[in-house]
Amino acid sequence: MEEQTRIKICGLTRLEDIDAVNELKPEYVGFVFAKSRRQITKEHAVTLRRYLDPEIQAVGVFANELPAIVAGYLEEGVIDLAQLHGNESEEYIHSLRFRTGGELIKAFSIKTREDVEKAKKSSADYILLDHGKGGTGESFDWSLIRNMDRPYFLAGGLNAENVEQAILQTHPFAVDISSGVETDGVKDPKKITECIRRIRHV
C-alpha cells in the first residue's frame, strides 16, 4: 500500500487560517518570511504558532536570508523546518544544518530535465519542485519528474481540480498548496477543506 501523500498549506497569515488547518490537520503549514504578498513578520508568526495544533509542523519560507537569521527562527521554535526559495548554495545548506540540525527544504524552479537533475543532487532533507519562484499559481510539466527517486514536495498551480491527477501522475512525498486554496488573495476554508478531502481520498 502506498503511503498517504502529505499536505502543506502555505502562506497562512490570519488566525482564521490557523483555525481552518487545526480542524483539517495537514502535516505542514507554511509561514512566508520572504518578500511576498503573503509575507508576515516573525512576531506575527509567533502568535500564529501559539494557536497552531502542535501536531502540525510549521515551515518558514525564506529567500537568500542570512543563515544566522534562519537558524534563529529554528532554534527559537518559531518554525520546525526551513524552506529555502532563493539561490542558497550547498555551503549555505551545510552551514545552516551545522548550526541547527533542523530539517531543510530546498525549492527548485523546474523548466528542464537539467533543473530536475540539479534538484536531485541537493543535500537538503527534502526538495520542493515548483514553477518559477513560487506563488505563481502555475504548474510545470510534471512529465519532467517521472523518474524522481527521492522524497519531494510538489508545488505550483495545485488546487482541488487538479491535485488528484497530480498525485496519481507524480507520486510526491507531499503537495504544497497556496494560491489554489485562496479566494481574493486570502485563504478560503471551503477550498482548503475540499482540497484536503480530495488528497486524502486519492
Catalytic positions, written as ranges: 10, 130
Compute the CA torsion angle 181, 64, 72, 136 (nearest 10 deg). Answer: 0
| Distance in angstroms (rounded) separating the CA atoms of residues 196 and 202 | 10
Is the separation of the CB atoms in 51 and 15 below 8 Å?
yes
Cell of 131: 514553477
Is the separation of the CB atoms in 54 and 45 below 8 Å?
no
| Distance in angstroms (rounded) separating the CA atoms of residues 131 and 180 | 14
Query: 10 Å Cβ neighbour count for 45?
Result: 21
